[in-house]
Amino acid sequence: MEKKSAVKLSLLVLLVCGAAAAVSALRPDPEPVFDRATRAKTINELVAKLNDHYVFPAKAEQLAASLRQRQLEGKYDGVDNGYRLARQLTADLHGVAKDLHMKVGYHPMMALPDDAGPAPASRAQWEQRTNFFERLMQRRAAAREVKNVGRLGDNVGYVKITSFPDAYLMSEKYAETMNELADTAGLIMDLRGNRGGDPLAVVLLISYFVDGRTRLNDIWERDTGQTVQHFTEEKLDGRRYGGKKPVVILVDSGTGSAGEDFAYTMQALKRATVIGEPTWGGAHPTEMYPLGGHFYASIPNQRSISPVTGGNWEGTGVKPDVATARDRTLAVAKDLMRRRLRESAPLVAAIHH
């Protein structure tokens, strides 16, 4: 099960992250005609998709009623531009439900076909759908989301992760990265500005930081009514970092979605100390739905539930263990890590030493 999140709200970002299904589903379209019928069809489709898929059914009814009321009042009648309509519909949705993952989008030169299916559910399915060269390009694009792998001195590892592309694209890159960092005494993971991505990529990466099978976030899905429990992977392609060496995670207000998932889950497991600013605050995995023509909607259809906290980071963001300004975060983390390694004290305790 692979669902889209903040990193996939933009078709351009989909291309960067190598989301094979969504990219292959895009097709060139004639120059769009924008009129009353187009507006009505877009709104009707949006209302239907919200009622069928939004993670909170009662809130979906409120959203639909609000859109219908605004439509009756003629609020959209003067909107003759696709971008403007998409922005207005998004703003109106956020006025009722402050769900940061919810968005209406528009692209004048491409369209998401009505029969666009979900992303591949496994690496095997992805390989069946793509040829060798497509797989190579997608892996290379995804691998670029892991940057600056190396050491900061005092045998402290450092890695910058800018998003979480689909897990089937990242298994080799995560293995390569963790093999390079496995011998460090402590690790700083920089997730500042991380745009999010695939929850299963989060599961895969966290698996390197535990010593045994560990239950992570559960995900409840509106479409099926089922709750799926996610556990760490028992078999990994790279070397485990293990569950004992200190890990610090850097975050800021630009850390979103799956980036927040990683930080929140590691923090809840007491496996890492989180340093920086409160994060974006979007915890509901999404799916992209076509609205006809050049419009699409990103609609949250799942809910993350931590078995440790019983909740998630929706609307609040991940609250750092150590609050710092963004430009001071790395310096504070390096100082804290050095003291931790020197004193063999718990990371948070070392702050107050």
Which of 77-81, 132-136, 140-144, 217-221 is the least confident region?
A: 132-136
From 198, 208, 125, select the one nearest 174 (Cα to Cα): 208
Which of 10-24, 132-146, 205-219 is the least confident region?
A: 10-24
Burial group, residue 341, by CB count within 10 angstroms (0-12, 13-18, 19+): middle
Q: Does 127 have pLDDT greater than 80?
A: no
CA 144 to chain CA centroid, nearest Å: 16
Q: Are 302 and 220 in contact (CB under 8 A)?
A: yes
Name, of 141-150, 270-279, 287-296, the range with top average pLDDT: 270-279
Whole-number pLDDT of residue 229: 96
Whole-number pLDDT of residue 15: 40
Average pLDDT along the chain:
87
The DSSP bridge partners found for residue 286 are 4, 300
SS (H, E, C) 284-317: CCEEEEECCCCEEEEEECEEEECCCCCCCCCCCC
Whole-number pLDDT of residue 138: 86
Per-residue pLDDT band at 3 (split at 50, 70, 90): very low
At position 25, the amino acid (one-letter code) is: A
Cα(297)–Cα(48) distance, integer angstroms: 11
Cα(26)–Cα(17) distance, integer angstroms: 15
> Domain residues of the chain, as ranges?
141-286+300-351
pLDDT in tens, 286-316: 999 999 878 999 999 999 999 999 999 999 9
Which residues, at least 6 apart from 252, have a Cβ–Cβ distance to it below 8 Å? 192, 193, 276, 277, 279, 326, 329
Helix (H, G, I), strand (E, B) or coil at 320: coil
Topology classification of domain 141-286+300-351:
2-enoyl-CoA Hydratase; Chain A, domain 1 (3.90.226)
| Residue 353, token pair as written in the block | 């030493």
Q: Does 208 have pLDDT greater than 50?
A: yes
Which residues, at least 6 apart from 282, have a Cβ–Cβ distance to it below 8 Å? 5, 6, 99, 100, 101, 196, 256, 257, 260, 313, 314
Q: What angle do CA 28, 30, 36 make, to 5 degrees?
A: 125
pLDDT in tens, 23-72: 444 444 455 667 888 899 999 999 999 999 999 999 999 999 999 999 99
Cα(44)–Cα(313) distance, integer angstroms: 31
Whole-number pLDDT of residue 111: 64
Counting every residue written for the chain, the total comes to 353
Q: Does 17 have pLDDT greater than 90?
A: no
CA 301 to chain CA centroid, nearest Å: 14
Per-residue pLDDT band at 10 (split at 50, 70, 90): very low
Q: Does 11 have pLDDT greater than 60?
A: no
| Residue 347, token pair as written in the block | 């990371």
pLDDT in tens, 175-201: 999 999 999 999 999 999 999 999 999
Whole-number pLDDT of residue 114: 61
Q: Model's pTM, two decimal places?
A: 0.84
Q: Are 330 and 188 in contact (CB under 8 A)?
A: yes
